[in-house]
Amino acid sequence: MLIFERSRAGRSCSAQLPATVEGRSEIPARYLRAKPPLLPECSELDVVRHYTGLSQKNFSIDTHFYPLGSCTMKYNPRACNALAMLPPFLARHPAAPDDTGQGFLACLYELQEILKQVTGMAAVSLAPLAGAQGEFTGVAMIRAYHDARGDSARREILVPDAAHGTNPASAAMCGYAVREIATDAEGNVDLAALKAAVGPHTAGLMLTNPSTLGVFERHILEMERIVHEAGGLLYYDGANLNAILGKAKPGDMGFDAIHINLHKTFSTPHGGGGPGAGPVGVNARLAPFLPLPLLGERKGEYRLLDEADRPQSIGRLGAQLGNAGVLLRAYIYARLLGPQGMRRVAEFSTLNANYLMAQLRNAGFEIAFPRRRASHEFIVTLRRLKEETGVTALDVAKRLLDKGFHAPTIYFPLLVPECLLIEPTETESKQTLDAFAAAMTEILAEARSDPQLLKTAPHTTPVHRLDDVKAARILDLSWSPGAA
Amino acid sequence: MTTPKELKYTKSHEWVKAEPDGTVTVGITFHAQEQLGDVVFIQPPEVGRRLKQGDECAVIESVKAAADLYAPVSGEVVAVNQEVSDKPERVNQDPYAAWMFRLKPSAPAELETLLDAAGYEKVAAEDKH
Amino acid sequence: MLATIGARSIDELFDEIPPELRAPPLADTLPALNEMEITRLMRDRAGRDGSWLSFLGAGAYEHHIPAAVWQIVTRGEFYSAYTPYQPEASQGTLQLLYEYQTMMTSLTGLAVTNASLYEGASALAEAMLMAVRAHRSARRIVVPRAVHPAWRRVARTIVRNQGIELLEAAYDRETGQTTPAALEAAARGGDIAAAVVPQANFFGVLEPVDELTDWAQARGAHVIALANPVAMALLKPPGEWGSKGADIAVGDGQPLGAPLAGGGPYFGFMACRKDLVRQMPGRIVGATTDGEGRPGFVLTLQAREQHIRRSKATSNICTNQGLLVAAATVHMALLGPEGLARVARACHANTLDLVSRLTALAGVRRAFSGTFFHETVLRLPRPAAPVLRALKAQGILGGLDLAGDYPELGHALLVCATETKDAGDLARYAEQLARILRKGTRRSTRASRSR
């Protein structure tokens, strides 16, 4: 039932209504709405019951193991939320003067410094509002750099064919043409293809390391040399930073610009689709172009730097300070971890991924890159299972819901057929991983003995196999009172 | 489904039919619709638009993909098949009857550069993994 | 576990990383804290920042948020869920988004909305990109100077690399409004893809939206409405502007349940005409049925998005502002149509009250004659910056100094009084401002005497 179907004309939450205003209005009638908007007319209990009930239909990290590859579904410590929501932080207006928010700005400044240190970059901006905006920023800074040097022939950005879709989309938003570079059989970017693709038209290369295939780019230093020698710059997509946090630094790999997904590596909440944050880090040559605002510090006083301080900045990506509340949560998480904690994140996420990969291989699943170490995630391919039984990655994913687990990422990266990209994260125990492996083993047996059970899964959720073709052909995107 | 021998084909999985009045109609092959899955939307080129061979001219969308169509030959778009635009599932049901748009070719010699049925079948076979 | 893997140590699992790239342990400059220690640190810092009586608006507004809103959306099932790519496991989030879409289409008066963008200014940029895609020939967009300066800067940063030209239209110095003549002057006779029409504008002034909409559409341009969502509960929504309604509406949803929080997270909303839906970036939820005919919800039209369309996507956006949309949905459900309209009226009435008290002081005047929604520009007899500092010393944040962005307005201050202010607050502001202005006058008189 929709909230509108619970509504009753004239019902309201009386405690939430401001007093009626007997005062004047200067607004002429021609500016006013003729009819009130279609919003629910409910009591507070109606609303609380309705949305509490909806929440109970969700899988979440707090309720289920959620091994979504490339998403880093690690536990979100409750303290991060509680402390980020202390009343003075919540009440702060973004235009309030810097000297009224020194406590708040101290947290952001220290986050900036922590991110510099852990990534090995020279300067960091907290401004981008998500990973994709971080990617846009990185490419825009690369463009600003080449434009400032008068090098306008560089019109192309290179991305691996395994790259996440946000990479080519961000490059296109910056006005670049995108060229894809092939991946080799070991899951790494094909060096020969890269060498052939670079030239005076190359603005840069966007890379994820470990890659979207769950393996470390072993030839990263060679790739860096190839691109830089051709005059291009290197951009690091930090989506998989969890695998190497504190163990290896993108700055050491030669990247000119990076972004970090705080909603992945720094455990800020996924929230059903955001908010995230995508701070960018740069080396010295790109530092002048960093987006605003930046946190500055002098003699213990913190301030927000602006256009006057940074005339070559590419500008602003949002009207205010970035997703400040997300930044605070990341800061608190980083302080709870400390430097040693960050290394443990990489160590245990990698241990958990390699262990689960071994368990699944022993159970009879085909690992996409069997000769490689898993990073913090790995890929299982069900190509042979599909040929044998007709059961697909989608069917297995749906059946996992019945077993009480959220499915891994399916059909990404596009290169591996019938794939499951599995990322357990470091916050899961061996017991959970064993239970997942056991469930997968059961599903494998079911695929052989009773494939129809899987093809019609899930059976225990409120709805099963929603018709997404119908949803795209007959667009029903909002409710109206006349609807049946 | 067998590949109709009387049609011509492109490497990008369009079929082309030479109509008696000198125009050509364009659709997508059985293999293409199978790869796409259920078609949910078609964005044909505008009537009157002039295309060069190989120009991106239309988009066909399924739930999991959005594929571009390329002009098989140069020419002017003289008609769009509204029936198929309104009911995109026709492309899955009868791909070789569901033409999407009609071109008046400006360089008829280009038709000779297209693949025949046997040539296309090789392309389709390589495309399957 | 290592035995199962066949490795002797955790370090061995990193053996594919070239040795020269393996980093030494990080320096201990900011050591780890346990929960008690970080709690103490954060409480100290929050305590340092304190609380203020604020009359700041300028794109972020202080409103009462019912206690139930954040209690519900910080439930783990909403807070720690992912984007609803497996619909059977996410009907809670999906249904909530469908309800949100329903509320926003009604609030904006337009047929379809998406499930959010990052915030208002980048949403404006996305609307510009969308208008240019839909227009297909022109790449010029008229933007009033009376649009928030930060929003204009952000839009420029985001659209600049795609060869889109932004043309500034002047505002009327007497009324504070933008006129069709001003838009025409900005267009300089050439084709334009879109015109941006704010309601209310940055000065708080209500724009003649019908005339501006009709002008733009007669010119073959799309109208991008920039609207305050609380205002829309009271004012005519973008879908009803002019003879045909605006084409796209965007804005910042912060006033609907997002605390100010130092600047974010907020969310951007976007709505548009039905036939533009495939050009609209961002996620969209659709209703459908399952194999057994039961109703349910899924993400739909995903083929436009980056994970499928890649470099040809409508936008690169992936993660958006899901939790803030959840908060806005619960907030709107709790306030209802009557509550939201009352909030709007109370803000207007409070700002009227504040303005009348402040303009009773010598030298303080309204800058514009045009009607305002819930904020307005006042002219002071002296530069705003030192006045604001003096108010701050009394615990009051008096408003936004416009000298940097609008030097042509002289000593100008943008003030806002939402429903959160009571008569005592307004009286306190007036008292303090009176005292500060009097003191300044005495000092300058003394100075002139001593010369």
* Tens-digit pLDDT profile for residues A210-257: 999 999 999 999 999 999 999 999 999 999 999 999 999 999 999 999
Contact with chain B for residue C302, Cβ under 8 A: yes
For residue C333, give the nearest of A3, A338, A355 by CB distance: A3
Cα–Cα distance between A432 and A426 in angstroms, integer?
A: 11
Structure tokens at A198: 């670079």
Contact with chain A for residue C60, Cβ under 8 A: yes
A475 located within any domain = no
Residues in chain A with CB shorter than 8 Å from the CB of B41 are 472-473
A69 located within any domain = no
pLDDT value of position A483: 63
pLDDT value of position A285: 96
Nearest to C378 by CA among C393, C363, C396, C389: C363
pLDDT value of position A189: 94
The mean pLDDT of A159-185, rounded to a whole number, is 92
Contact with chain C for residue B85, Cβ under 8 A: no
| A26, C371 contact by CB (below 8 A) | yes
Contact with chain B for residue A318, Cβ under 8 A: no
Residues in chain C with CB shorter than 8 Å from the CB of A461 are 88-89, 91
To the nearest whole Å, the CA of C338 is away from the closest chain A CA by: 8
Q: Which fold has domain C67-331?
A: Aspartate Aminotransferase; domain 2 (3.40.640)
Are C262 and A372 in contact (CB < 8 Å)? no
Domain at A403, CATH number: 3.90.1150.10
Residues in chain A with CB shorter than 8 Å from the CB of C272 are none
Going by pLDDT thresholds of 50, 70 and 90, the confidence category of residue C315 is confident
**Of A308, A337, A366, which residue sits at a domain end?**
A337
A374 located within any domain = yes
pLDDT value of position C442: 53
Residues in chain C with CB shorter than 8 Å from the CB of A102 are 45, 48-49
What is the CA A352 to chain-centroid distance, rounded? 20
Domain ranges of chain C: 67-331, 337-450
Nearest to B77 by CA among B95, B92, B57, B97: B57
pLDDT value of position C422: 94
- Residue A99 per-residue DSSP state: G
Angle (CA) C261 C265 C271, round 5°:
130
The mean pLDDT of C111-123, rounded to a whole number, is 95
* pLDDT tens per residue across span A26-76: 999 999 999 999 999 999 999 999 999 999 999 999 999 999 999 999 999
A161 and A94 in a common domain: yes
Measured in residues, chain C has a length of 451
Question: pTM of the entire structure?
Answer: 0.95
- Identify the closest residue of chain C to B40 by CA–CA distance: C301
What is the CA A464 to chain-centroid distance, rounded? 27
Are A473 and B41 in contact (CB < 8 Å)? yes
Q: Which CATH class is domain B31-106?
A: mainly beta
Cα–Cα distance between C164 and C160 in angstroms, integer?
A: 6
Best interface-test mutation with C: which of A25, A47, A253, A398 has the largest number of C CBs within 10 A? A47
The mean pLDDT of C340-347, rounded to a whole number, is 96
- Identify the closest residue of chain C to B63 by CA–CA distance: C303
Nearest to A109 by CA among A126, A94, A96: A126
Amino acid B11 reads: K
Alpha helices by DSSP H, listed for A251-392, are: 324-363, 383-389
A480 located within any domain = no
Contact with chain C for residue B121, Cβ under 8 A: no
How much is the ipTM here? Answer: 0.96
Q: What whole-number percentage of chain B has pLDDT above 70?
A: 98
The mean pLDDT of C81-102, rounded to a whole number, is 96
Residues in chain C with CB shorter than 8 Å from the CB of A40 are 103, 332-333, 336
* pLDDT tens per residue across span C56-75: 999 999 999 999 999 999 99
DSSP H or E segment with residue C250? strand C248-252
* pLDDT tens per residue across span A419-430: 999 999 999 999
A255 located within any domain = yes
Going by pLDDT thresholds of 50, 70 and 90, the confidence category of residue A165 is confident
Residues in chain A with CB shorter than 8 Å from the CB of B129 are 417
Angle (CA) C267 A269 C297, round 5°:
65
A332 and A195 in a common domain: yes
Cα–Cα distance between A353 and A213 in angstroms, integer?
A: 13
Longest dimension (CA), chain C: 92
Please state the domain count of chain A. 3
* pLDDT tens per residue across span C260-296: 999 999 999 999 999 999 889 999 999 999 999 999 9
A122 located within any domain = yes
Cα–Cα distance between C86 and A268 in angstroms, integer?
A: 21
To the nearest whole Å, the CA of C441 is away from the closest chain A CA by: 25
The answer to whether residue C324 scores a pLDDT higher than 90 is: yes
Are B63 and C303 in contact (CB < 8 Å)? yes
Please name every residue paired with B60 in a beta bridge, in sequence order, or none if there are none.
B42, B67
Are A472 and B40 in contact (CB < 8 Å)? yes
Are A102 and C48 in contact (CB < 8 Å)? yes
Best interface-test mutation with B: which of C278, C300, C305 has the largest number of B CBs within 10 A? C278
φ, ψ of residue C333 in degrees (nearest 5): -65, -35
A98 and A39 in a common domain: no
To the nearest whole Å, the CA of C142 is away from the closest chain B CA by: 27
Rounded to 10°, the helix C322-359/C423-450 angle is 50
- Identify the closest residue of chain B to A475 by CA–CA distance: B40
A63 located within any domain = no
* pLDDT tens per residue across span A441-468: 999 999 999 999 999 999 999 999 999 9
pLDDT value of position B66: 87
The mean pLDDT of A332-336, rounded to a whole number, is 97
Going by pLDDT thresholds of 50, 70 and 90, the confidence category of residue C451 is very low
Are A473 and B61 in contact (CB < 8 Å)? no
φ, ψ of residue B64 in degrees (nearest 5): -110, 0
Contact with chain C for residue B46, Cβ under 8 A: no
Q: What whole-number percentage of chain C has pLDDT above 90?
A: 88
Cα–Cα distance between C336 and B68 in angstroms, integer?
A: 45
Measured in residues, chain A has a length of 484
Q: What whole-number percentage of chain C has pLDDT above 70?
A: 97
A134 and A201 in a common domain: yes
DSSP H or E segment with residue C72? helix C67-73
A260 located within any domain = yes
The mean pLDDT of A166-190, rounded to a whole number, is 92
Cα–Cα distance between B104 and A60 in angstroms, integer?
A: 56
Mean pLDDT, chain C, rounded, equals 94
Contact with chain B for residue A466, Cβ under 8 A: no
Range A104-125 burial, b when 16+ CB lie within 10 A, else e? bbbbbbbbbebbbbbbbbebbb
| A402, A457 contact by CB (below 8 A) | yes
Measured CA to CA in angstroms, residue C105 lies from A479, C271, C304 at distances of: 10, 7, 21
pLDDT value of position C29: 81
Residues in chain A with CB shorter than 8 Å from the CB of B63 are 468-469, 472
- Identify the closest residue of chain B to C308 by CA–CA distance: B65
| B41, B88 contact by CB (below 8 A) | yes
Q: Enter the CATH code of domain C337-450.
A: 3.90.1150.10
To the nearest whole Å, the CA of A174 is away from the closest chain C CA by: 5
A293 and A382 in a common domain: no
pLDDT value of position C307: 80
Nearest to C126 by CA among C258, C262, C309, C305: C305
pLDDT value of position B128: 65
Rounded to 10°, the helix A430-449/A324-363 angle is 50
Amino acid A50 reads: H
For residue A247, give the nearest of C22, C93, C400 by CB distance: C22
3-state secondary structure chain B: CCCCCCCEECCCCEEEEECCCCCEEEEECHHHHHHHCCEEEEECCCCCCEECCCCEEEEEEECCCEEEEECCCCEEEEEECHHHHHCCHHHHHCCCCCCCEEEEECCHHHHHHCECHHHHHHHHHHHCC
pLDDT value of position A414: 84
Q: Domain range for residue A452? A: 346-469
